[in-house]
Amino acid sequence: MEEKWIAGTPKLWRDIPLIISFCPGCQHGAAIKTLCEVIDELGMENNCVLVVGVGCNTMASVLVDVDSVMVAHGRPGDVASAMKRVLGKDTMVITWQGDGDTLAIGCEPTVHAAARSEKITTFMVNNANYGTTGGQLAPTSVMGQVTTTSPLGRTPSHGYPIQGSEFLGSLKGVAYSARGAFTSPANYQKTKKYMKRALEKQRDGVGYSFVEILSTCPANWHMSPIESLKWIEEEMIPQFPLGEFKNVDKIE
């Protein structure tokens, strides 16, 4: 009988002792585990470079067993564009970033990589705040959200949240844009499918691809892991709806 892997850590998960790790209930680990699975399932592990920014998400560079480079906060879009152009179409270039890294300090590199239709894939883990630095307001914090820099809740004077998946999906250079979450097994399956599709768009040379993953940050939200999942369902998803926003096989 054919042996089939059904549980445990993915093949590309590097099981190494860590000096730092994620807070309990943080979904960065689940997101990185899913990244390992999709790279493995697409057979891309030997021709893949992970470009990570600065944040709790940076741990991906240690945990995923592929070549990786850690770059300055917000710069993955620029570095990945250059790497893809130098390494050529057969190397999969993936950026792994937080929402601050992608849409605050990294907004310009992200938007212009998308506009140039760079053949790269950006995965943005959106936990609605700056996780690493103690929970400050991010472009993706929801209206009303209490953060260390919006102690009375986000108001219009802080600006409105940037819906990255819808926005990037509106750009001509973008081949694929989607938003997923890990709040249920069904959502996990859909998110994994989105991540795979995004990488397939790059593999097929169609254009820039983007997947946003809604993710918990119990430590900075001051919630239990279960409350955090509920908060994503009740507060984030209404302002950041799940689904595919663009999916084309040709940029025209």
Ligand X SMILES: Cc1ncc(C[n+]2csc(CCOP(=O)(O)OP(=O)(O)O)c2C)c(N)n1
Question: Applying CB under 6 A, which residues contact ligand X?
Answer: 54-57, 72-73, 98-101, 105, 125, 127, 130-133, 138
Q: Which of 10, 12, 13, 26 binds ligand SF4 (CB under 6 A)?
A: 26
Close Cβ partners of 175 (under 8 Å, ≥ 6 residues apart): 117, 201, 206, 207, 208, 209, 246, 247, 248, 249, 251
What is the nearest approach in angstroms of ligand X to the Cβ of residue 223? 15
Q: How far is the CB of 133 from ligand SF4 (least distance, A)?
A: 9
Q: Is 22 among the residues that bind ligand SF4 (CB under 6 A)? A: yes
Residues 113 to 152 in contact with ligand SF4, rule: CB under 6 A:
127, 131-132
Nearest to 220 by CA among 82, 52, 22, 64: 22
Q: Return the ∠ at Cα 117 (arms to 112 and 121), rounded to 5°.
A: 90
User: How far apart are CB 53 and ligand X at their closest, in Å?
Assistant: 6
Residue 169 contact partner, candidates ligand X, ligand SF4, none, CB within 5 to 8 A by sort of partner: none
Question: What token pair was written down for 59?
Answer: 């741990």
By the rule CB under 6 A, 35 interacts with ligand SF4: no
Closer by beta carbon to ligand SF4, 48 or else 213: 213
* Beta strands 67-70; 208-214: pairing state: unpaired
Residue 220 touches ligand SF4, criterion: CB under 6 A: yes
Nearer to ligand SF4, 22 or 208 (CB): 22
Query: Pick from 217, 232, 236, 242: which binds ligand SF4 (CB under 6 A)?
Result: 217
What number of other Cβ atoms are within 10 A of residue 189's Cβ?
A: 11
The least distance separating ligand X from the CB of residue 117, rounded to whole angstroms, comes to 24
Amino acid sitting at position 81: S
CA-based nearest residue to 163, from 142, 138, 181, 140: 140
Residue found by looking up tokens 């807070």 in the block: 23
